A and B are shown apart, each in its own frame.
Chain A
Amino acid sequence: MRPFAYQRATDPSSAVQALAAAAPANDPLTVAAIQPLAGGTTLVDLMKLDVMRPSTLVDINPLAGMWSAIDAGGGNLRLGALARMSDVAANPDVQRNYPVVADSLKLAASPQLRNMATLGGNVLQRTRCTYFRDVSFSNCNKRIPGSGCAALDGANRSHAVLGTSEQCIATYPGDFAQALIALDAAVEITGKSGVRSLPFDQLHKQPGNSPQIETILAPGELISAFRIPGQWPRSVYLKARDRQSYEFALASAAVALDVQDGIVRDARVALGGVATVPWRAREAEALLKGRKFDENLASRAAEAAFAGGKPRRHNAFKIALGQRVVARALHQAAAMEV
């Protein structure tokens, strides 16, 4: 690991001041010299691998007193960005009214990592692409812009089929973000000039020609909270993976339904493990809405979700697997007693 200076933030304003210091505005946040330290489960790991090389860490854990509340009052949900994954997963209000949120967190990582990792850090988790994580590979546009992508013709079984470009096919690895994007969450961002809020589906950027840019966050900005409007008791997070626990998704689905008298009034479908960013399957949702829910409808929606899928040599199975995961998640949600 390279040397770094360790600083401890005392309040949000000192944290964003420290993070913005000496950072060129056009620098991608992922390579910023000053990085925030929350749970550290991604950052410290990638620093050990020499993938991330900050010269200063600003420990924002002291802000947890202000930024870790779980507020389910008033029929909406507000989650502080420094809430730990395990605490949110275990919250009775979240479990009852937002099972897709609770399960997306519970099925991620291990108990130890969930005790450490924060919600804000979790949505910014970096890809598990081997060619990104292993610096001995010289071709990775995410790590070294312009160097190429070793995954395009490499071992790409775990890579994305949606939202890819010729520059990058790295999979977005998280689970919780799929629940957020499905439920129309907003992300609250604290910066030097105050707090701004924007739809969560605008936070991440597809790789396009700049895979090193992963979010719209500017230097000095920190995610401070997430807000989910309404309640979604009929919701499911289903995750298919190589082993039953403690593994990243090969394909996952976050599904939420509002069904009345057998008719789908509203439907939300998001996909994990198959796309370069948290992925909202709006084509599938459009197909479901206003129709009577049955097996055939679920299958057609699942097909629609992957209509734009672009498989590579080793990951074509993800399209069939992903479709089955979506269809099964829809069935499970429709069958829930709420």
Chain B
Amino acid sequence: MTDNTDSPTTSEFDRRSFILMAGAAGTAMVPLTARAAGTPAEAAAAPDASAPVNVTLRVNGASQSISIDPRTTLLDALREHIGLTGSKKGCDHGQCGACTVLIDGRRVVSCLTLALAAEGQQILTIEGLAKNGKLHPMQQAFIDQDAFQCGYCTPGQIVSAVACVTEGHANSDDNIREYMSGNICRCAAYPNIVAAVKQAAPAILSDQQKG
């Protein structure tokens, strides 16, 4: 159902991908309606609005073609259809930041982003940060600074922190706190998160300058 053959996360046959495949087989007989995305806006509302539509998302550099209910958020598309469960569902209402991903380099909450509306854009999730088996400097900094306890908010914190640095907002402790305020940590690892952002910032900015 997806062509993410270069992604080790979903090519492994684990419990999650088994459930995903079983679910897909169970719905394979549902006829797809005409694809809503891209049709002219004056088209009348489809009689069966919840019929699955095909969408191709560009996630961590790979194209993912999935068939989804139009109501599916980007977060649910990533977690339930593409098998990338790093982005977390906390509040599911844009209040906690656990689902933060980058779209075209900008951090957004994927729980309030409709997957259909993200078509054609570059989506980067926590799974896309490490390169060649080496952790991203922000991931390493979170480990070095012990910037989490339970870890549930951590993927969102790390993705958000990367953007905080590239936006140029990691230039003081106060600014880091202000520009990381969209990511709630109920374990209150905040001082360590600030330390991690400060640790990783020079390496990220230097990479950014090299392009």
Contacts and interface: CB of A to CB of B under 8 A. Distances in A.
Contacts of A95: none
B70 A110 contact: no
A37 B114 contact: yes
B36 interface: yes
Give the 10 A-B CB pairs with smallest separation, nearest first.
A110-B182, A245-B181, A3-B50, A18-B41, A3-B49, A246-B181, A14-B41, A5-B45, A9-B41, A5-B49
A48 interface: yes
Given A8-B41, A21-B44, 11 more contacts: A1-B71, A3-B50, A4-B70, A4-B71, A5-B45, A5-B49, A14-B42, A41-B94, A110-B181, A112-B94, A113-B109
Most buried by B among A9, A109, A112, A246: A112
Interface of B: 36-46, 48-50, 53, 69-71, 73, 92-94, 97, 100, 106-109, 112-114, 116-117, 160, 163-164, 167, 169, 177-183
A6 B164 contact: no
A42 B73 CA distance: 14
Majority secondary structure of chain A interface residues (helix, strand, loop or mixed): mixed
25 contacts: A3-B48, A4-B71, A5-B46, A6-B116, A7-B41, A8-B37, A14-B40, A14-B41, A15-B41, A17-B42, A18-B41, A40-B112, A40-B117, A41-B112, A44-B114, A49-B93, A55-B45, A58-B41, A109-B182, A111-B179, A112-B97, A115-B106, A116-B108, A244-B181, A245-B178
A165 to B, nearest CB: 29
A5 B73 CA distance: 14
B94 A21 contact: no
A52 B177 CA distance: 33
Of the candidates B117, B160, B181, the one having the most CB atoms from chain A within 10 angstroms of its own CB is B117
Interface centre among B41, B46, B69, B92 (most CB of A within 10 A): B41
A86 B73 CA distance: 22
Interface residues of A, number: 39
A56 B38 contact: no
Contact of A10 (B41, B94, B160, B179): B41
A111 B169 CA distance: 10
Nearest to B121: A61
Contacts of B169: 111
Contact of B97 (A34, A57, A110): A110
B71 to A, nearest CB: 5
A66 B109 CA distance: 25
A45 B41 contact: no
A17 B40 CA distance: 11
A6 B114 contact: yes
Interface string A301-328: 0000000000000000000000000000
B182 A5 contact: no
Given A5-B36, A111-B160, A112-B108, A245 B177 contact: yes
A38 B183 CA distance: 23
Nearest to B180: A111
Contact of A18 (B42, B97, B181): B42
Given A5-B49, A116-B112, A245-B181, A10 B107 contact: no
A184 interface: no
B100 A112 contact: yes
